Structure 1
Amino acid sequence: MERNVLSAFIQASEKAANIARACRQNAHLFELLVQEKVDDEKNPRFVHDFKTLADVLIQETIKHDIGEQFPELAQHIKGEESNKFQNTLGESITVEVKADKDSTAALLSKVLNGDTVAAGLLADEVHKVVPLEDVNLANSTLPHKVELPVEHLGVWIDPIDATSEYIRGKETPSTINGLYCGGLQCVTVLLGVFDRSSGCPVMGVVNQPFFIHDDDRWIGRCMWGISHNDTNVNCIPKPDLSPKEKVVLVGSGESEELREKLRASGAVVVRGVAGAGHKLVGVALGLADAYVLTRPTTFLWDTCGPHALLLSQGGGVASCANPGTQLTYSGSVGTCNEGGIVAYRDRTFLEALLDRELQESVLPLDPQASGDPQASGDPPQ
């Protein structure tokens, strides 16, 4: 295959990161981009939840760019957000990328109540060409040739994971074991590619738009991994195998009883780290050994991309209710990881960690958590 699927997804993720950064750069612009979610779109955690035009625009830009390069994928690219937006005049507008910059700007101007300056700035980012050499790949080298069966693949997009941290827009210097407790550093763009027949993740690209704050500007970082047939490659450095304490991340809503069970296994339990994508990447990077979430508050778009990274390392993401089985993926919108999740790099550690008691800690499915096809992915994670 002459077309490089991995490069295309990396470039799409960087364009997404550019849009996210542009929207945070101007306070007036960002104020225009936030709109309260309607009742049937609310996330179970919050009375007030928000979606942003940045979310929707990033999602639709990725769909457009990938679909244009790989037409056989176009109908199989799914995203977290609805692309319907309502302006202050009550007009319902479908956000999409048009054929040229001026047409996209004209559409966005309707969403932005006639603010042509803001619309033009966003359209510039949407139609900008992002060279691969402009992406911070942390000095990793992309594989020259990886054959992926594009015609059999599906895609999940989480355009802005940790949306609430993005909206608050703060820089939070405090870290736990190298992971940020909150703030823009926890925000991730998650792209996951899966085989539509088997449901197995085959490629993941994770972009952190706000990785480093340098001279009043943000610099991002992009990570990738491929796990397909006998090919397992990624950009993650080899882990430090020297003996050390095992660290398990848990969601903020987990019970003290569960945390005690994990401590009894010999692990150091860490809570208070924001963002499901951020925590999953923390496991992939070796900043934690596992991430346990017993609640049904993540969705396919949250886990698909990071799952592929972990598979490429010999790890994975399983269900807490059935830790011997990897999560699988489909194109069903709104599908919740009902049995919770446990992410890990080392299968041996997973086996030592999980027992019958832990499986019994999985909470029953909350219909409100799984019935929302457009939930923002920001419940207790």
Structure 2
Amino acid sequence: MRAFAEALITACLKESVRFELGLFSPVLKERIYGEESASFTNSSGVTVNLNLNSSHQNTRNTLVQILDGNEKVAEILATEVHKAVELSEDLKTQVEDLETTELDISDVGVWIDPIDGTSHYIKGKEKLWNGYPVSGLEVAKVLIGVYNCTTGAPMFGVVGSPFSATCHLVFGSTQPGQPLLLDPPGPLLHPNLELNLTRPVLVVGSSESSEILEKLKPRFEIISAGGAGNKLMMVLIGTADLYINSSPSELP
């Protein structure tokens, strides 16, 4: 049941982003990818596709089918999906001030990870390292990345922290004339904690190669943390100096 709830929540988030980007470009909408499937089979054996549009009622009706008639939960999810999000005036100004970059949308792909660090999102069990979360709910991030479909090269990316006390949002770009960071959050280290580290801090995932770690131990203070987006955030705000991931990955 927990796995189903997790899949449905993340699919709702992913499909809401797909819908919003589709309003900007129907072509781009067809190049949005992610790990989550938008197809669900209810207990009656009926397969329902979660195709969102601007209608709260349509979304609610679709969710009722997926949830075997549970109208209460369907209403809660539909309300969240269609909730208007208000950005701070400072962030709005920064977004408006970004220089326009001409892109060939037909060769651009978008990868969405609605809840990066899902196990931490479900289990909680917060753990801090020098005042920064390395496990628990605050580790979970929302990731949206834009890349070139032909080369696989990254172009833009956003990391959001929806479950932290202050919803940090970081934008990065590799494009000429664009800022490397937008609205970078300040350090989250505990104000009373003094770091006396003599080596650079290297942050890794829990499944990182033990052979690689043994070679790096003499030169780095190695910290294990959950969530790819969380580890990227640690580097961006200066909590860590370097993040590595030696696991292979494939683009769609």
Query: Is the shorter-chain TM-score for this pair beyond 0.5, marking a shared fold?
Result: yes
Q: How far apart, CA to CA, are the structure 2 residues paired with 1:198 and 1:229?
A: 17
TM-score, structure 2 normalization: 0.83
CA distance change for structure 1 residues 224 and 207 in 2, over 3 Å: closer, same or farther? same
Contact 1:59–1:159 under 8 Å retained in 2? yes
SS at match of 1:98: coil
Greater relative contact order structure (CA < 8 Å, 6+ sep): 1
Aligned-residue offset at 1:111:
1.1
Residue in structure 2 matching 1:223, options 170, 174, 191: 170
Query: Could you tell me whether the CA contact under 8 Å between 1:171 and 1:185 is conserved in 2?
Result: no
Q: Is 1:73–1:150's contact at 8 Å kept on the other side of the alignment? A: no
Helix, strand or coil at the partner of 2:112: strand
With over 3 angstroms needed to count, the CA separation of the structure-2 counterparts of 1:256 and 1:128, relative to structure 1, is closer
Render the CA deviation track for 1:152-190: whole Å, top value 9, x for unaligned.
Answer: 42111011111111122x251x31244323111010110
Instruction: Give the match's secondary structure for 2:180.
Output: strand
What is the RMSD computed on CA atoms of the aligned residues?
A: 2.8
Cα deviation for residue 59 of structure 1 reads 0.7
- Cα gap change, 1:145 to 1:244, in 2 (>3 Å): farther
Secondary structure of 1:160's aligned partner: strand
Aligned counterpart in structure 1 of residue 240 of structure 2, from 285, 288, 300? 288
Q: Which amino acid aligns with 2:227?
A: G
Q: How much does 1:145 deviate?
A: 2.7
Could you tell me which amino acid in structure 2 is paired with residue 293 of structure 1?
N
| CA separation of 1:110 and 1:35: change in aligned 2, threshold 3 A | farther
1:250 aligns with 2:204: yes
- Would you identify which runs of 4 or more consecutive aligned residues in structure 1 move more than 6 Å? none
Cα distance in 1 for residues equivalent to 2:99 and 2:185: 20
2:141 pairs with one of 188, 192, 197? 188
CA apart distance, 1:246: 0.5
1:24-39 matched pairs, under 5 angstroms: 34-35=2-3
Which blocks of at least 5 consecutive residues in structure 2 are unaligned? 188-196
| 1:156 and 2:124 aligned | no
Q: 1:35 to 1:259 in 2, by over 3 A?
A: closer
For 1:1-381, what aligned pairs fall within 5 Å after superposition?
A: 34-35=2-3, 51-133=6-88, 141-142=94-95, 143-149=97-103, 151=105, 152-168=107-123, 170=124, 172=126, 174-212=127-165, 219-235=166-182, 236=184, 245-264=199-218, 266-271=219-224, 273-296=225-248, 299=249, 330=251, 332=252
SS at match of 2:203: strand
Give, in whole Å, the separation in 2 of the partners of 1:199 and 1:127: 32
Distance 1:237 1:221, change over 3 A: closer
Provide the rounded CA distance (Å) in 1 between the counterparts of 2:235 and 2:27. Answer: 33
Instruction: Give the deviation of 1:80 after TM superposition.
Output: 1.5
Q: Is the 8 A contact 1:205 1:223 kept in 2?
A: yes
Structure 1: segments with no counterpart, 5+ residues: 1-30, 37-49, 213-218, 301-329, 333-381
Q: Normalising by structure 1, what TM-score?
A: 0.57
Q: Is contact 2:48-2:66 (8 Å) kept?
A: yes
Whole-angstrom CA distance in 2 between matches of 1:252 and 1:158: 19
Distance 1:194 1:64 in 2: 19
Aligned residues: 240
Task: Tell whether the 8 Å contact from 1:80 to 1:159 is kept in structure 2 after alignment.
Answer: no
- Determine what percentage of the aligned residue pairs are the same residue: 32
Contact 2:41 2:48 in 1 (8 A): yes
Note closer, same or farther for the CA distance 1:201–1:294 as it changes in structure 2 (3 Å cut): closer
CA distance, structure 2, for counterparts of residue 56 and residue 257 of structure 1: 36
